[in-house]
Amino acid sequence: MFRVAVEMLMHDKTKFLGLLIGIVFTAFLVTFAMGYFAGFMTRGFALVSENPSAKVWVMDPAVSSAEATINMSDSALDSVRGVAGVEYASPLYLGDVTARYANGDFQSFQIIGVDDATLSGAPLPADLLHIPNSVIVDSGGTEGKLQTPIYKKDMWSYDGSHLHAPTRELRYGDEMLVNSKRVMVAGISHTIPRFPPRPLLYTTASNFKRLIPGEKRYITFIMVHPAKNVTPDELAKRITRTTHLKAITSEAFKKETVMWFMINSEDVGDMVNMVILAMLVGFGVTGVMLYMFTYENLKQYAVLKAMGASTKQLSDMIFTQVFISALAGSGIGVGIAAVLEQIVSSPTFPFRMMWFAPLVGFLGVIIVSMTAAFISLRPIKTMEPAIVFKL
């Protein structure tokens, strides 16, 4: 009966194609949505990913993501360094600043201050930050936001802003004003793009404090590397117990950040809507095509029933047809999504095919196809087999 089901399915090429398109569409969109989700989640915890030597992250107990933070007092660093099992601990300072370009235009940046001595957390070549008042600039997943005038006459002009002057990308030696203090671009880095995208300024802790004066608490995170005889998990618990600060492993911190985005980011809602829409449209096309396919072949099923085929055998035929279409359709759909990843994945477009994306795509197809199959069983179950005698 398996072979008969397959022959029936392949015989009506138009409907088979329609069925396949519905499933391909569902698989593609669900996988794409998952890839997009994975992409922006990966960028959401980019700060953690770009510091792989920090196995434990220490923060204020109220912080639950790398995105929304509140600072700790400077004494926290000494407390953490005093905990047994800490090989080294480096502070990380986060803040938001608005920088003015030489033509009078301005741009918001996330500023990341790193330990002056170790420069731990700065992109390579980090020692450029030893140049006084220097910053390393990163686009952070944005495009066209790091622009400074081409011509000297448009820079810091006495006659006001030259906002419409021709511009170019920032480069070594350019200058900006942050809180009316001059900074010099010592380098352009290309770290992991951020989600949400935003330009970044890396600098030393001392320069950070110069640019954002007057704060009582500066340290946002303390990045800890455990000694050889202690696991990150064990050390995190020990730091929490000793300092009453929140200390978690980098992997746990990534997961917490993902959870934070899932609860707080509107983009997750957009992605869920995209998945629901994809499944609804996919179900619409697949369901209609499968129902039409079954309904138009009802007489053939009645003939089989007249020959002794049980309702279970006929149902198995429908499920076989759905399974084959689902297998082929999801393969194509996921394949298209994978190809698209190679084409569209860029610093400005967060898309990453992780292991769960095709899995969820296939699951979406299974849900859509099975629902369509169950609906298509109805005409089989309710058919009057005596229709075999009708012309």
Partner 1 sequence: MNSIIVSCKNIVKTFNAGEAEVKALQGVTLDVYENELLMLVGPSGCGKTTFVSVLSGLLSFDSGACEVMGKNIADMSDEEITAFRGKNIGFVFQAFNLLPSLTAIENVALPLTVAGEKRTKALNLSKKMLEAVGLGKKAYVKPSGLSGGEQQRVAIARALVHNPKFIICDEPTSSLDHTSGQIVMELLQKIIKEKGASMIVVTHDNRIYKYADRIVHMEDGKIIKVAS
Asked if residue 183 lies in contact with residue 137, where contact means CB atoms within 8 angstroms, the answer is: no
Q: Does 4 bind partner 1 (CB under 8 A)?
A: yes
**In this chain, which of 133, 313, 315, 345 binds partner 1, going by CB under 8 A?**
313
Q: Does 17 bind partner 1 (CB under 8 A)?
A: no
Rounded to an integer, what distance in angstroms lies between the CA atom of residue 211 and that of residue 213? 6
**Site for partner 1 (CB under 8 A): which residue of 74, 96, 296, 384?**
384
Interface with partner 1, residue 1, by CB under 8 A: yes
Distance, in Å, from the CA atom of 178 to the CA atom of 17, rounded to the nearest integer, reads 60
Whether residue 51 contacts residue 221, with contact meaning beta carbons closer than 8 Å, is answered with no
Give whichever of 1 and 276 is closer to partner 1, judged by the CB atom: 1
Asked if residue 300 binds partner 1 (CB under 8 A), the reply is: yes
Instruction: Kindly state whether residue 277 participates in binding partner 1, applying the rule CB under 8 A.
Output: no
User: Could you tell me if residue 2 is left (phi over 0), alpha (psi between -120 and 50 degrees) or otherwise beta?
Assistant: alpha
Size of the site for partner 1 (CB under 8 A): 26
- The backbone torsions φ and ψ at residue 247, rounded to the nearest 5 degrees and listed phi first, read -130, 125
Q: How far is the CB of 325 from partner 1 (least distance, A)?
A: 15
| Residue placing its CB nearer to partner 1 in the complex, 285 or 309 | 309
Query: If binding is defined by CB under 8 A, does position 84 make contact with partner 1?
Result: no
Q: Which stretch binds partner 1 (CB under 8 A): 272-280, 285-293, 359-367, 381-389?
A: 381-389
User: Does residue 305 belong to the site contacting partner 1 (CB under 8 A)?
Assistant: yes
Name the residue nearer to partner 1 (CB basis): 338 or 388: 388
Binding residue (CB under 8 A) for partner 1 from 108, 310, 346, 348: 310
b/e per residue 108-141 (b: at least 16 CB within 10 A): ebbbbbbbeeebbbbbeebebbeeebbbbbbbbb
CB nearer to partner 1: pick between 75 and 310: 310
Cα–Cα distance measured from residue 110 to residue 200, given in angstroms and rounded to the nearest whole number: 5
The H or E element that residue 246 is part of is: strand 246-249
Give the chain's length.
391
Q: Please give the structure tokens belonging to residue 313.
A: 């055998």
In this chain, which stretch among 124-132, 162-170, 207-215, 306-314 interacts with partner 1, using CB under 8 A?
306-314
Exposure of 91 by Cβ count < 10 A (0-12 exposed, 13-18 middle, 19+ buried)?
buried
Residues at the interface with partner 1 (CB under 8 A): 1, 3-4, 7-8, 10-12, 299-300, 303-311, 313, 384-386, 388-389, 391
